[in-house]
Amino acid sequence: MANLVIDIGNTLTKVAVFEQQQLLETGHYADADTALFDELLNRYTISKAIISSVKKDTPYWLSVLGTRLTVVHFAAAMAQGITNHYLTPHTLGLDRVAAVNGAVYLYPQKNSLVIDGGTTITYDWVDAGANYFGGSISPGLNTRYKALNHYTQGLPLVEADAAFGMDYGNSTLTAIQSGVQNGLKYELEGFIKAYSKTDKQLNIILTGGDSDFFDTLLKNSIFAPQINIEPNLVLIGLNAALLQHND
């Protein structure tokens, strides 16, 4: 029997099918609909689903899905084994909890820094004893580019370029790329350096839609050997929570 895992983010809905711990299929959708889930339910024998959402609105397809199988709504308390020290747990994004749960599930008894790159970038640290204290939230890669265009009169909308390698820009285009991408690189390195003060062998996990891009930014960093790329960390964390919930 398989599990259906759904993560509704700010921009995309991520969907995965797991058989126990094995990821069978995953996809990212701007507009998930009943046809998508009909197709998955026809191809796999799915017994349960777990859903996490950063949005307040309930998608129309969820009620339809609930008539066909048991749907579990992820809650922070389902991250079993993690001690949450966040001062405002009711405001903590479930995607952040799921990512931390995935980190502990994949890398038990390690100090891990989870960097999740999407519409926003979140930095979350969980120690070797599975204590979670919090982290940081900053604008995502493309959010930064869009903000420069939206909040100014003269700056164009520029796309991210993984091949950009200049230390500074010599045109408006490259100056924007330098500001956004070099600035983000320095931010990533700064956070990693700060957390590494407590553990020189800190386990660094890059996840989210921009994880490969972040890996490129950090490829020449002294921290590169400590970096693991797990683009589906949130989905893995949600599946782990569902497996534990079944027990």
Cβ-contact 82, 130 below 8 angstroms: yes
Q: pTM higher than 0.85, yes or no?
A: yes
Question: Is 31 part of the annotated catalytic residue set?
Answer: no
Domains and CATH numbers, the chain: 2-73 (3.30.420.40), 81-232 (3.30.420.40)
Cα separation, 15 vs 32, in Å, equals: 9
| Active-site pick, 31, 57, 95, 167 | 95
Strands 46-53 and 70-73: parallel
DSSP 80: T
pLDDT for 54 equals 85
pLDDT for 20 equals 93
pLDDT for 218 equals 96
pLDDT for 198 equals 87
Cα separation, 214 vs 206, in Å, equals: 7
3-state secondary structure 219-244: CCCCCHHHEEECCCHHHHHHHHHHHH
pLDDT for 10 equals 82
pLDDT for 164 equals 96
Digit-by-digit pLDDT tens for the chain (247 residues) are 899 999 998 888 999 999 999 999 999 998 888 999 999 999 999 999 999 998 888 888 988 888 899 999 999 999 988 999 999 999 999 999 999 999 999 999 999 999 999 999 999 999 999 999 999 999 999 999 999 999 999 999 999 999 999 999 999 999 999 999 999 999 999 999 999 998 999 999 999 999 999 999 999 999 999 999 999 999 999 999 999 885 5
pLDDT for 116 equals 97
Strands 70-73 and 120-126: unpaired
E-strand ranges in the chain read 2-8, 13-19, 22-29, 46-53, 70-73, 83-84, 112-117, 120-126, 131-139, 203-207, 227-229
